Structure 1
Amino acid sequence: MDGDTLARVAYLAIILVALGGWVLVEFRQRMGQALRMALAWGLIFLGMMAGYGLWTDIRQDIMPVQIQAGGAIEVPRAEDGHYYLTLRINETDVPFMVDTGASGLVLSLDDASALGIDPESLMFTGEASTANGIVRTAQVTLPVIELGPFRNEGFRAYVTEGEMDGSLLGMDYLDQFHMEFVGNRMVLRQ
């Protein structure tokens, strides 16, 4: 255990001793009540942990995923009004927000790193105009992109230096599809 970890453990121990001392003084005549309160808070904590653990299961309802139906990909509209697709790039699943206002396929720095692209090695010589202003971009080539049965090799994409919550799927990629909007679903066919 290094010195930093030891200091943190000591700090937490001091806090626990102080809290335990306060509980003993405050509830010295009512230990049953103190135990009930501790049990209630413990159950609340366990409930929050269980809710967090179930988040991956219920997340599908909040951000639905695409389904392959015959030769088409159907994408349900998410609660926020956007469409989200997951592309398989070099054997890694990358979520994208469909953005028909974007001209290219734009990777966030985090997604680029997850694909093995070293941001330090990129040359950010391009520029893109976004809702947040002008950002610098670096062009990259993605060896393999798959969306269900559809496959592209050597696809040009851009990595942005700008702050992005996720990656954007623009018209460079979407132009290869016939896009149709049926109710709250987007259908892509080639």
Structure 2
Amino acid sequence: MNALTGILIVLGVGLAFLIFNHDTGQTFGIDNDSFGRVIYLLPIAGLLATGILAGRRGHAGEVLRNLAIWLLIILGLVTAYLYRDDARNVAARVTAGLLPGTAVVMTTSEGGDEVVIHKTRGSHFQTNVSVEGKVLAMLVDTGASTVVLSYDDARRVGLNPQNLNFTVTVMTANGRAMAAPVRLDEVGIGPIVRKNIRAMVAEDGKLGESLLGMSFLSTLGSLQMQTDELRLRD
């Protein structure tokens, strides 16, 4: 049996145990997340051990060189594992910088999640928001008392504007307009999800882009606006 076959057997058996013990949450007294990490690391350790043993067949200098190489590999893997959250945050910052307006989930020093939005070229905080399961491009607007959907976006999320009562006067970038009050079952940005959110639908042609207003933003744990980025915490 070659090394690859052994690795596949270990992974297969480990996966079978995880599937079988999914409901209990533990395998051999270890929580399934930790057990999964062990199963993931065992084949790597086996490959490293195989490489070290194979290196012992040569001269002393070659053996020492191979040992040094494998030790560096092990240290690299351990370092990557220990600093995986930092690496994820760096990747998230790069993504946010290259794609302004993209909502990027980062890990805080306390271990929680933080959503970071960078300004777009128009100096606005614009991001993709999940509304009733549909993704809409929305402007973050702390001056708006509620979430405000454009006429077209309201139709995209399953509302029928023709059946709404436009009884509320609002001010938009296009001037005064009438809006209809509604309730949204779900609004979310990344891991931050809220249920039963107050919102309004603007008249047709009166709002170019939907607004993420305070009926959602006021439910957050914190909202920090800096020069070119907005940080949201659940």
TM-score (norm 1): 0.63
> 1:67: how far off?
0.3
Q: How far apart, in 1, do the equivalents of 2:98 and 2:161 lie?
A: 33
Task: Find the structure with the greater CA-based Rg.
Answer: 2
- Matched residue, 1:139: 181
> 1:132: how far off?
3.2
1:50-105 deviations in Å (ceiling 9; x for gaps): xxxxxxxxxx9575311011211000111110001211112110111011221111
TM-score (norm 2): 0.52
Q: Which has the higher contact order (CA 8 A, sep 6+)?
A: 1
Q: How far apart, in 1, do the equivalents of 2:187 and 2:99 lie?
A: 25
- Matched residue, 1:72: 114
- Percent of matched pairs sharing the same residue: 31
What is the alpha-carbon root mean square deviation over aligned residues? 1.8
What number of residue pairs does the alignment pair up? 131
> 1:131: how far off?
4.1
- Matched residue, 2:217: 174
Are the counterparts in 2 of residues 62 and 79 from structure 1 also a CA contact under 8 Å?
A: no
Which of 182, 202, 208 is 1:160 aligned to? 202
Structure 2: 5+ residue stretches without partners:
1-96, 108-112
The one-letter amino acid paired with 1:103 is S
Q: How far apart, in 1, do the equivalents of 2:171 and 2:228 lie?
A: 29
- Matched residue, 1:41: none
Matched, 1:103 2:103: no
Matched, 1:148 2:185: no
Are the counterparts in 1 of residues 100 and 117 from structure 2 also a CA contact under 8 Å?
A: no
